[in-house]
Amino acid sequence: MTVTTRFAPSPTGTLHVGNLRTALHNWLFARRHGGTFLLRIDDTDKERSQESFVEAIRADLAWMGLQPDAEERQSARFDHYEARFAELAAAGRVYPAYETAQELDLKRKIRLGRGLPPVYDRAALALSDEDRARLEGEGRTPHWRFRLDHDAPIIWDDLVRGPQRFDPATMSDPVIRRADGSWLYLLPSVIDDIDMAVTHVVRGEDHVSNTASQLQMFQALGSTPPAFAHEALLTGSEGKLSKRLGSLGIAHFRELGIEPQAIASLLGRLGTSDPVEPFADLSPLIAGFDFARFGRAPARFDEAELAQLNARIVHQLPFAAVAGRVPEGVDAAAWSAIRPNLETVGQAADWWRVVQGPVDAPAPSDDDRAFLTRAAEHAESLDWSTDPWRALTGALKEETGRKGKALFLPLRLALTGREHGPDMGALLPLIGKERAVERLQA
């Protein structure tokens, strides 16, 4: 079997962190099995769908490195939906219903008041042809429902949640088409999954009840359903479902300087029994991706953890990966020197300003002033072609008897203006003899 997964966003807004996780897991599973990853734009909602959001979705996936193998759009497939809808109508598996939203709401309240589940009572199935003609003569246009088969339970083995069982008699016949003829999510998605040979549907656990209905739709259309993996939803660091997660998207992460590999490393392992690790290369993440390792407990998304992962990934990035994002003049040697002190690639500019100067060093004590004067004299006469930092500190240690913090800190402060930073052995050659002598003299 060739594995085929699909990520199916609606272009009614930009992707948020939960969407990104779904896209990533579909991509990882397809890549793990040498399969196909599809992007399907679910743009049946003509009023809310916008082309700008389609472009944004493509751009976000590209930035994450989740390149789809093909793209489909539901708005180009209405003829397919009409044809399969006609089949279901002929088989009696869809039927028109005429209740208004207010009438349906009243029915739900009445059933709840009687201690009954608030499911649709199938009153529309009892309408005669004359009843329907009368209602339509009054100006009512029907919406359409899929008639669930109540004869047997709906059962499937979920790749994350394990064995699932639903009693269709306790479920409402789902609305699949609005009164204006537009499509709701359920049926077009099934038709697309059939036509596109989707083998695995990976999505959030909030779709579990949808899956129960859709399994009967696959059956009614004479097709074998795909396997389903319903993942636990993300929670915020405060330990409960967070509305803020719905607003965190690529723009937010890029503004913070987060690398796509950091997002993938975190979202790829959240909810599993595996440790979250910084994968600058996603190959190990792909190789180890397995739905059997996911649990049913909510997955906790922590931006602080993401920031830590990001720093660890930045420390792995070769110069070629950042060459276009660092200041002019930064070469491989400079990147190697400053990289261990960065949390984001953008911070390279701060350290490059330290290299180029000027630096705002604190005024030294009288003892340190004399020490730095001797340091400037030694720096002037050093051989800078080998290891000037070792030579400078070695000479000063022998002459003054200073060691440890007393030896190194005044030099670092004078040369960089900071108490901490990159290894001075790597940084001093970047500063260079002329600037170093000038700073020590100052």
For the chain, domain boundaries: 4-71+186-235, 80-177, 243-314, 319-356, 366-441
Question: Which is it for strands 299-300 and 234-235: parallel, antiparallel or unpaired?
Answer: parallel
Assign 212 to helix, strand or coil. helix
> Please, which pLDDT band fits residue 238 given cuts at 50, 70 and 90?
low
Token output for 205: 């656990």
Q: Considering only CA atoms, which of 393, 375, 365 is closest in space to residue 439? A: 375
**Contact assessment for residue 49 and residue 151, using Cβ atoms and an 8 Å cutoff:** no
**Contact assessment for residue 26 and residue 59, using Cβ atoms and an 8 Å cutoff:** no
> Please, which pLDDT band fits residue 219 given cuts at 50, 70 and 90?
very high
As its CATH architecture, domain 243-314 has Orthogonal Bundle (1.10)
Binding-site entries: 243
Q: What percent of the chain has pLDDT over 90?
A: 91
> Please, which pLDDT band fits residue 3 given cuts at 50, 70 and 90?
very high
CATH 1.10.10.350 holds for 366-441: yes
pLDDT score of 103 more than 80: yes
Binding-site entries for ATP: 243
Instruction: Note the pLDDT of residue 442.
Output: 87
C-alpha torsion 291→27→268→41, nearest 10: -110
Assign 94 to helix, strand or coil. strand
Q: Which residues pair with 165 in a beta bridge?
A: 155
Distance CA 264, CA 244 (A): 19
* Residue 9, φ and ψ in degrees, nearest 5: -80, 150
> Please, which pLDDT band fits residue 419 given cuts at 50, 70 and 90?
very high
Instruction: Compute the Cα dihedral for 65, 345, 252, 261 and give only its sign.
Output: positive
Distance CA 216, CA 218 (A): 5
pLDDT score of 80 more than 70: yes
Assign 146 to helix, strand or coil. strand
Assign 13 to helix, strand or coil. coil
User: Whole-structure pTM over 0.85, yes or no?
Assistant: yes
Residues 177-193 as b/e (b if ≥16 CB within 10 A, e otherwise) read beeeeebbbbbbbbbbb
> Please, which pLDDT band fits residue 299 given cuts at 50, 70 and 90?
confident
Residue type, 165: R
Instruction: Note the pLDDT of residue 242.
Output: 61
As its CATH architecture, domain 80-177 has Alpha-Beta Complex (3.90)
Distance CA 356, CA 414 (A): 14
pLDDT score of 248 more than 90: no
Average pLDDT score over residue span 67-79: 97
Class for domain 4-71+186-235, per CATH?
alpha beta
> Please, which pLDDT band fits residue 131 given cuts at 50, 70 and 90?
very high
